Amino acid sequence: MSKKILLEHAHIEGIETFDTYRKNGGYEALEKAIKTMSPEAVVEEAKKSGVRGRGGAGFPMGMKWGFLAKPEGVPRYLVCNADESEPGTFKDHYLMKTIPHLLIEGMIISSFALGANKSFIYVRGELMYVINILQQAIAEAKANGFLGKNILGSGYDLELVVHPGGGAYICGEETALLESLEGKRGNPRNKPPFPAVKGLYQCPTVVNNVESIANMVWIINNGGDAYAAVGVGRSTGTKLISASGHIKNPGVYEIELGLSVEEFMNSDEYCGGIRDGHHLKALVAGGSSVPIIPANLVYKTANGEDRLMSYESLSDGGFATGTMLGSGGFIVFDETACIVRNTWNFSRFYHHESCGQCSPCREGTGWMEKVLHRIEHGHGNMRDIDLLVDVAKKIEGNTICPLGDAAAWPVASAIRHFRDEFEWHVKYPKEATRPGAVYMGEAELV
Amino acid sequence: MNQVAEPIAFTPERQKRVDQMIANYPEGRQKSALLPVLHVAQEQWGWLSSEVMDHVAKLLDIQPIEVYEVATFYTMFHLDPVGKNVIEYCRTGPCCLMGAEDVYSHLKQKLGIQAGETTPDGLFSLKEVECLAACGWGPVFQIREKYYMNLTNEKVDSIIEELSQ
Ligand SMILES: NC(=O)C1=CN([C@@H]2O[C@H](COP(=O)(O)OP(=O)(O)OC[C@H]3O[C@@H](n4cnc5c(N)ncnc54)[C@H](O)[C@@H]3O)[C@@H](O)[C@H]2O)C=CC1
Ligand SMILES: Cc1cc2nc3c(=O)[nH]c(=O)nc-3n(C[C@H](O)[C@H](O)[C@H](O)COP(=O)(O)O)c2cc1C
Ligand code: SF4
Ligand code: FES
């Protein structure tokens, strides 16, 4: 059994209610923090834990908290990013609906640490039923004196507001999220300044992912050092992985970072292996934005080392032979999956979701979608494949926010590793575009 | 154009929720309540007409254009009338790996409409959406607040039948 930091109590009947959560040790970390620790001491534990942002970028949380500007007389804000829209990612959804008080308790501890008196949870609007669950949890926390004015007699006041989005992937990007929270379109801002200096209403703001914040409960109960002892190297702690695609047991799993990819994929405790009678063809390890890798690079890196579920090991080999941990959206493809069709599908997604501010992203995503549609539907030519690589290169690094890169990487990596499959679509359009047709050529299957 | 010209107003219960939403944000930042209030408006009227958006602008003390800008940016808002049940089905990659394309063609066939259309009896509209953060439980669609997951043709049949009663 792997270490459980977030989901230890997730399977207990009624854990979404205050009473059951409390009976299982809930709100003890909050009591400890507020009654016995200073805000600085809480930040110190976050730093010691080494926990890295679970929204995908992996930036050390304690360091970010340390960067928060503290000008006199200006309010500071904590905003929880629960916009979760990255294809393949559904862990925050699971955490919030299953054990909402873990997020609420984490929010109160983190707000206390940062000196915020009003904090926001920005939840994608589609998850209205989860918003209702969170509202209920907030009401319960308030009724029990853990939230509101003068929490546990400490003199510390906090109000938590749950804010629904309106359906826009880009609002998961933290500065777009802040614009959206101000009642505007979700157009990302230029960084720097980072939100820690100029964020919500131009005030210093920390934006953290749901899972990042939920980790604070265990960190306060057990200490940052104990957290840092879990995991491997700079990938400390556990990670929620959303597993989908052609595996036996899709779902959300908590793993200790450093678990081997092979065990995660094939053990019955996790994915349970590729569905019966099929073979692994490819993997996207961290949500649709990260590079896709072929089967022969999934369990071993190009150097022949075991591939581990960690920030470092998954990205080992860089773009040539690696992928990324990202948001933990583990999407598995077996030999029945058409890489061209999937790449086209993802490109359409990014084109649809581009906010349109930068021309390389707005136009480039449109081009890629169009060209991929052409190839997938049997009207492509060989030059189109190089054209795609070229467009992807021109987007990369030339935009305000990383959505442009996120659109370019899946295309570039799919062509890098599965070029023969794109060529096959061009050479045999009739065969390739038959429903269910998949190239079975030279790709190595495991 | 044959609508009865009634003054636009939230029901008292909804107006109370709207007031609370505005109070959630700092003094002078009432524009922040725009998305939450638009959700309540869509809940009441089913879609956002320009009259409804103008009303929201007045409540938040902002320009109507600020409301239009936002309502057109976010995909959850319907800017035209829709059927009683809007079925928003996820068309993104991971759901497709889980067999979504077949289930959705069955759905379309069953209702006799394509995405963007409404059944003649006004009961159902179909809308294609992107990833709903339920990929491992796909294929998935949502109708208002409810998620319907692990869909199969049989499940689709029984959901449609139930909602047709
Ligand atoms: N969870 C999801 O649904 C999705 C996640 N992503 C992930 O988002 C990632 C990109 O996110 P970004 O926020 O653009 O990455 P980033 O690297 O710019 O920032 C990461 C975090 O660190 C903070 N930060 C970085 N340098 C800082 C400094 N010098 N001072 C203060 N704060 C600093 C940022 O404010 C931010 O909160 C991608 O790697 C991708 O995996 C992308 C799409 C969806
Ligand atoms: C296009 C785009 C979408 C993003 N979507 C999300 C998201 O849905 N949830 C999330 O936590 N972070 C998302 N991020 C990352 C955030 O910008 C930010 O790094 C994160 O919320 C910081 O929290 P963390 O440090 O706890 O991970 C996205 C980034 C980009 C570029
Ligand atoms: S990269 Fe794309 S999504 Fe990001 S700001 Fe530019 S146009 Fe908008
Ligand atoms: S791809 Fe359909 S819910 Fe994520």
CATH number, residue B129: 3.40.30.10
Q: Is A201 on the interface with B (CB under 8 A)?
A: yes
Q: Both A189 and A49 in a single domain? A: yes
Residue A423 lies in a domain: yes
Supply the pLDDT for residue A433.
77
Q: Both A179 and A68 in a single domain? A: yes
Residue B5 lies in a domain: no
Give the Cα separation of A211 and B113 in Å (integer).
Answer: 40
Residue B110 lies in a domain: yes
Give the Cα separation of A372 and A339 in Å (integer).
Answer: 11
Task: Tell how far the Cα of A347 is from the centroid of ligand 4, in angstroms.
Answer: 15
Contacting B residues, span 35-94, partner chain A, CB-CB under 8 Å? 35-36, 38-39, 60, 62, 66, 69-70, 73-77, 88, 91-94
Nearest Cα neighbor of A340 from A445, A443, A444 is A443
pLDDT over threshold 90, residue A16: yes
Q: Both B89 and B61 in a single domain? A: no
Mutate to test the pocket of ligand 1, among A174, A239, A401, A403 (most ligand atoms within 8 A of CB): A174
Residue A292 lies in a domain: yes
Answer yes or no: is the C-beta of B94 below 6 A from any ligand 4 atom.
yes
**Residue-number span of the structural domain to which A63 is assigned:** 18-229
pLDDT over threshold 90, residue B53: yes
Lowest average pLDDT, out of A92-96, A360-364, B1-5, B49-53, goes to: B1-5
Total domains, chain B:
2
Q: Both B104 and B53 in a single domain? A: no
Q: Complex ipTM, two decimals? A: 0.96
Nearest CB partner across the interface for A87, out of B33, B62, B92: B92
Q: Which two tokens stand for residue A364?
A: 């480039």
Q: Both B104 and B46 in a single domain? A: no
**Which residue of chain A comes nearest to B23, CA vs CA?**
A161
Q: Both A41 and A157 in a single domain? A: yes
pLDDT band at A445 (very low <50, low <70, confident <90, very high): low
pLDDT over threshold 90, residue A422: yes
Whether A164 sits inside 8 A of B35 (CB atoms) is yes
Q: Both B90 and B145 in a single domain? A: yes
Residue A300 lies in a domain: yes
Pick the last residue of a domain from A199, A229, A259. Answer: A229
Instruction: Show residues of chain B in contact with A333, CB under 8 Å.
Output: 97
Supply the pLDDT for residue A421.
94
**Which residue of chain B comes nearest to A340, CA vs CA?**
B93
Pick the last residue of a domain from B32, B48, B73. Answer: B73
Q: Is B29 on the interface with A (CB under 8 A)?
A: yes
Q: Both A216 and A132 in a single domain? A: yes
Q: What is the mean pLDDT of chain B?
A: 96
E-assigned strands of A210-328? 231-232, 235-236, 238-245, 251-256, 280-284, 292-294
Answer yes or no: is the C-beta of A62 below 6 A from any ligand 3 atom.
no
Neighbours of A360 (CB within 10 A): 19
Pick the last residue of a domain from A313, A334, A355. Answer: A334
Supply the pLDDT for residue A35.
97
- Contact of A177 with A79, CB cutoff 8 Å: yes
Residue B141 lies in a domain: yes
Q: Both A160 and A101 in a single domain? A: yes
Residue A201 lies in a domain: yes
Q: Both A22 and A89 in a single domain? A: yes
Closest ligand 2 atom to residue A177 Cα is 17
Answer yes or no: is the C-beta of A170 below 6 A from any ligand 3 atom.
yes
Nearest CA to ligand 3 atom 4: A401
- DSSP letter string over B103-165? HHHHHHHHHT--TT-B-TTSSEEEEEE---S-GGG-S-EEETTEEE-S--HHHHHHHHHHHH-
pLDDT over threshold 60, residue A1: no
Residues having CB within 6 Å of any atom of ligand 1: A 53, 55-57, 59, 64, 67, 84-86, 89, 172-174, 194-196, 207, 287, 289, 326-327, 402, 406
pLDDT band at B17 (very low <50, low <70, confident <90, very high): very high
Share of chain A above pLDDT 70, in %: 98
Q: Both B122 and B69 in a single domain? A: no
Nearest CB partner across the interface for A126, out of B29, B132, B138: B132
Supply the pLDDT for residue A145.
97
Q: What is the pLDDT of residues A34-88, one digit of tens each?
A: 999 999 999 999 999 999 999 999 999 999 999 999 999 999 999 999 999 999 9
Q: Both A273 and A218 in a single domain? A: no
**Beta A280-284 vs A292-294: how paired, if at all?**
antiparallel
Residue A160 lies in a domain: yes
**Beta A329-334 vs A280-284: how paired, if at all?**
antiparallel
Whether A244 sits inside 8 A of B97 (CB atoms) is yes
Residue A413 belongs to a domain with what CATH number?
1.20.1440.230
Alpha-helical runs (H) found in B46-97: 50-60, 64-73, 93-97
Q: Both B115 and B149 in a single domain? A: yes
Instruction: Show residues of chain A in contact with B98, CB under 8 Å.
Output: 244-245, 250
Q: Both A301 and A347 in a single domain? A: no
Phi, psi of A10 (to 5 degrees): -60, -25
Q: Both A290 and A411 in a single domain? A: no
Report the DSSP beta bridge partners of residue B124. Answer: B85
Q: Both B89 and B33 in a single domain? A: no
pLDDT over threshold 80, residue A434: no
Nearest CB partner across the interface for A89, out of B66, B74, B133: B133
Pick the last residue of a domain from A195, A229, A263. Answer: A229
- Contact of A390 with A309, CB cutoff 8 Å: no
Give the Cα separation of A395 and A351 in Å (integer).
Answer: 12
- Contact of B61 with B30, CB cutoff 8 Å: yes
Alpha-helical runs (H) found in A144-283: 174-181, 210-222, 224-228, 261-266
Residue A5 lies in a domain: no
Q: pTM of the entire structure?
A: 0.97
Q: Which two tokens stand for residue A380?
A: 């492509």
Give the Cα separation of A261 and A265 in Å (integer).
Answer: 6
By the 10 Å C-beta count (0-12 exposed, 13-18 middle, 19+ buried), A294 is classed as buried
Residue B144 lies in a domain: yes
Supply the pLDDT for residue A446.
57
User: What H or E segment, with its residue span, contains residue A431?
Assistant: helix A429-432
Q: What is the mean pLDDT of chain A?
A: 96
Residue A407 lies in a domain: yes
Total domains, chain A:
3
Q: Both A414 and A314 in a single domain? A: no
pLDDT band at A100 (very low <50, low <70, confident <90, very high): very high
Report the DSSP beta bridge partners of residue A308. Answer: A260
User: What H or E segment, with its residue span, contains residue A154?
Assistant: none
Residue B52 lies in a domain: yes
Whether B92 sits inside 8 A of A352 (CB atoms) is no
Supply the pLDDT for residue A429.
87
Residue B17 lies in a domain: yes
Which single residue is written with the structure tokens 């996790």?
A: A270
Helix (H, G, I), strand (E, B), or coil: what is residue A224?
A: helix
Give the Cα separation of A341 and A138 in Å (integer).
Answer: 43
Q: Which ligand is nearest to the CA of A287?
A: 1
Nearest Cα neighbor of A207 from A411, A388, A3, A55 is A55
First and final CA of chain A: distance in angstroms?
26
Cα–Cα distances in angstroms (integers) from residue A373 to residues A139, A335, A385, B91, B127, in the given order = 49, 21, 12, 15, 21
B131 is in an annotated binding site: yes
Supply the pLDDT for residue B1.
46
Compute the average pLDDT of residues A331-350.
96
Pick the last residue of a domain from B73, B98, B121. Answer: B73
* Helical pair A382-395 and A359-376, crossing angle rounded to 10 deg: 160
Answer yes or no: is the C-beta of B138 below 6 A from any ligand 4 atom.
yes
Instruction: Show residues of chain B in contact with A132, CB under 8 Å.
Output: 145
Q: Both B150 and B92 in a single domain? A: yes
Cα–Cα distances in angstroms (integers) from residue B63 to residues A64, B57, B66, B67, in the given order = 37, 6, 5, 7
Q: Both A284 and A320 in a single domain? A: yes
pLDDT over threshold 60, residue B3: no
CA distance A45 to chain B (A): 31
Supply the pLDDT for residue A436.
72
**Residue-number span of the structural domain to which B23 is assigned:** 12-73
Residue A159 lies in a domain: yes
Residue B39 belongs to a domain with what CATH number?
1.10.10.1590
Residue A214 belongs to a domain with what CATH number?
3.40.50.11540
Q: What is the pLDDT of residues A233-281, one digit of tens each?
A: 999 999 999 999 999 999 999 999 999 999 999 999 999 999 999 999 9
Q: Is A74 on the interface with B (CB under 8 A)?
A: no
Compute the average pLDDT of residues A206-214.
98
pLDDT over threshold 70, residue B4: no
